Chain A
């Protein structure tokens, strides 16, 4: 079957390629954000908050999805069977690193199965650092009687940005 645009060269109108210019402009904007992030603490702060799902509004968080962030920041997490402060000395050794969006450790695929299949409450702590900035977030995963969990943020004031 012939393609509808299988015709030979058609009228040249490259100069009016608005879509191309918009995409290039968009890429330059994001590249600028990325290149400035190490030198502007506020940009890094926004990105750390994005990783912990702590951006002030969901719309602003969602609007950042095109910014690529593979294996960004030093993200650590630990999962406890007890509330913060309880038998803390014993479990403090359990920190592991996660590649990106560390909050996914408890919600994404295998993590959800590994940590939440027990149907017991869990406490989850995240810590991300980048060039001297550190953000810590705490979550309580409260088991529902009918199955599943409710995620409750217990961040407090332990964050140092």
Chain B
């Protein structure tokens, strides 16, 4: 083999890809999807918050201010975009910290604390801060294995958080999800079921739908992190996509960044036999 051929082959070998950096960038891209998926929704919220302020003394003034919300949102967006594109590691580190801080502000602001989008983004930002500080300092294969482990640990925790609060009779009977989704939610699966089944049959379907949610979240919350990287990544993508497809398109904003995080597992190279 000539030198040129050897060089080309070496360049094309998957081992030469900077896998940790690729995983890092994929997660930044996924965070941006999460942030902008509900862009129209945020625009409308911005208008509503400005015209109907609600004074609640529980929140400090600055965490009720719409200006804080705007600044935090754009800081998060800009920091993530820079993290995605920057070739300089110090800038990635700085922007990852900025993103983490801005996401944290959104998690405790009166206008956004309840939106789980910002909690899942915050966890992805925490992962990004850690990885940004390790890039270039560790053996790449070991680093991507650690990154994948941390990613599935975070996804497990978030699913466990959903499960633990549902270990209660009202979810096991399907009563809660029946009222939230089956009664009047405008989404393809619920519209279809309402057309096809009577109210008592819908309640029975809601019961099994709810039990399926509780069981999937419980099993994956407890066990996903313990699976091998690629299996966990594949299963994570299936479960998280299922949450969106069977519930509500708005959930893409909550789930997209977690899908990016789950995909970190696909960057773990197969061990040579």
Q: Do A and B come from one complex?
A: yes
Q: Which residues of A contact B (CB under 8 A)?
A: 1-7, 9-14, 17, 19-20, 23-24, 27, 30-31, 34-35, 37-38, 47, 53, 58, 61-62, 65-74, 96-101, 103-104, 106-110, 112-113, 116-117, 129-131, 141, 144, 147-151
Residues of B with C-beta under 8 A to A112: 48-49, 52, 54
Counting CB contacts under 8 A, is B211 at the interface? no
Counting CB contacts under 8 A, is B257 at the interface? no
Picked from B51, B108, B161, B176, the residue with its CB within 8 Å of the CB of A97 is: B176
Counting CB contacts under 8 A, is B168 at the interface? yes
Q: Which residues of B contact A (CB under 8 A)?
A: 18, 21, 41, 44-45, 48-49, 51-60, 87-89, 104, 107-108, 110-111, 113-116, 119-120, 122-123, 126-127, 129-130, 133-140, 142-143, 146, 150, 153-154, 156-158, 160-162, 164-171, 175-176, 179-180, 213, 254
Contact B136–A13 (Cβ < 8 Å): no
Complex A-B: 24 CB contacts under 8 Å: A2-B87, A3-B87, A4-B89, A14-B142, A17-B134, A19-B129, A20-B146, A27-B153, A30-B161, A31-B156, A37-B165, A58-B60, A61-B108, A66-B123, A68-B157, A68-B160, A70-B165, A71-B176, A97-B175, A107-B56, A131-B167, A131-B169, A148-B55, A151-B54
Contact A130–B165 (Cβ < 8 Å): yes
Residues of A with C-beta under 8 A to B104: 65
Given A53-B58, A129-B170, are A5 and B136 also a contact pair (CB < 8 Å)?
yes
Contact B21–A5 (Cβ < 8 Å): yes
For the complex formed, measure the closest distance between the CB of B254 and the CB atoms of chain A, giving whole angstroms: 8
Picked from A14, A23, A58, the residue with its CB within 8 Å of the CB of B126 is: A23
Contact A74–B175 (Cβ < 8 Å): yes
Contact A13–B137 (Cβ < 8 Å): yes
A41 CA / B113 CA spacing, docked (Å): 24
Contact A69–B161 (Cβ < 8 Å): yes
Given A5-B18, A14-B139, A107-B56, are A96 and B179 also a contact pair (CB < 8 Å)?
yes
Residues of B with C-beta under 8 A to A109: 41, 44-45, 48, 111
User: 5 closest Cβ contacts across the A-B interface?
Assistant: A72-B165, A68-B161, A5-B136, A74-B170, A101-B114
Complex: chain A residue closest to B147, CB-CB: A20
A14 CA / B161 CA spacing, docked (Å): 30
Contact A68–B54 (Cβ < 8 Å): no
Residues of A with C-beta under 8 A to B18: 3, 5-6
Contact B52–A108 (Cβ < 8 Å): no
A106 CA / B111 CA spacing, docked (Å): 11
Contact A131–B89 (Cβ < 8 Å): no
For the complex formed, measure the closest distance between the CB of B231 and the CB atoms of chain A, giving whole angstroms: 20
Picked from B58, B87, B175, the residue with its CB within 8 Å of the CB of A58 is: B58
